[in-house]
Amino acid sequence: MTESPGAWEFGRQVVLRPGRAAQALRVKDALPAALSIFLAYLLVSAVFHAWKPFDFPPLPGGAAMEPPAGGLLFWIGAQAWQIPLSALGILLTAWFVRLLAGPGLPRRIAAAAACALLPLVLIGACRLARMPRWIFASCLLALLAALAPGLRRVGRDVWRPLAAWLLAVNAVALASLPVAAGLVLLRAAPAYEAFQYAAAFWMLALATYGVGRIFSVGTARAFCAVFLSVVCEVLCLLSFHILGLVTKPTLAVLLLTL
C-alpha cells in the first residue's frame, strides 16, 4: 500500500463519495487517517454533550433523568468507552460476515441472529439466577473465545481496511455536530431528533456499503453483519455495567448517544 491519505480528505470521501473512498482502501493504508477521525469525533462529541443542555431533547414520555456530575471530564470518560466497543464491533462485523457467507442465506441469518442474542440470554440468566460476577465474566470470556475459529477464517489483508472504514464512518457524526449545535441553539427538538436519526441511518448505510465492498458480499449479508455487531456492542455495554465496570450514569448516556 502507498502512503496514508489525509484525515480530512478521507473523511470527506467517506461521507460524500463512498465509492471513491472504498476504492482508495485497495491502494492506501487509511487506518491512520481513520484513527484521527475517530479520536477527533470522540473529543468533539464529548465537548458537544458537555455544552448541550442535558434536558434537550426531552426524553420520551416526559421521563426525567438527573444530569451527570463531572461536566466535560464525565463526557470524556463516557466517550472513552467507545474505544473498546468499536474494537469489538470491528471483530464482530468480520465474524458475522464469515458466518453469513455461503449458500442458504435465510438459515445463516437465523443462526447469526441466535448467536447475537446469546449475550442477552446470559444477561437474563445472570439477573434471574443472581449469578456471581466472576461466573458471569467467565461465561462472557467463553463466548469471546468461541469467536476464535471464525476470526481465523478472516484474511489478514482485510483487517486494516475494515477497521479504517468502520472508524472513518464516524466522520458523518463529526460533520453533523455543527448542524446539531445550531438546532440546539434554536431549541428545535423535533428537527434535532430527526437529524440525529438521519445521520445514524447514513452511518449504518455507509458501514454496510464499505463492508460489502471489502468482503465482496451482497448488501443483505453486509447489513446483517453490521447490524448484529451493533446489537452485540449494546449487550456488551450492558454486561460491563453488570460487572461494575460502567456506572449507571455512563450506561444511560451511552445508550442514548450510541
Provide the pLDDT confidence category of residue 104 given band limits of 50, 70 and 90: confident
Question: From the CB of residue 86, how many other CB atoms can be counted at a distance below 10 Å?
Answer: 17
This prediction has a pTM of 0.92
pLDDT at 26 over 90: no
Q: Is there a contact between 86 and 103 (Cβ–Cβ < 8 Å)?
A: no
- Domain ranges across the chain: 7-56+67-257
The pLDDT score that the predictor gives to residue 2 is 58
User: 3-state class of 123 per DSSP?
Assistant: helix
Per-residue pLDDT band for 61 (boundaries 50, 70, 90) equals low
State yes or no: pLDDT of 64 exceeds 80: no
Three-class DSSP category at 2: strand
What residue type is 243 in one-letter code?
L
Contacts of 188 (CB under 8 A, 6+ apart): none
How far, rounded to the nearest angstrom, does the alpha carbon of residue 62 sit from its chain's CA centroid?
27
pLDDT average, residue stretch 216-236: 94
Residues 175-201: tens digit of each pLDDT: 999 999 999 999 999 999 999 999 999
pLDDT for 3: 64
What is the percent of the chain where pLDDT is above 90? 72
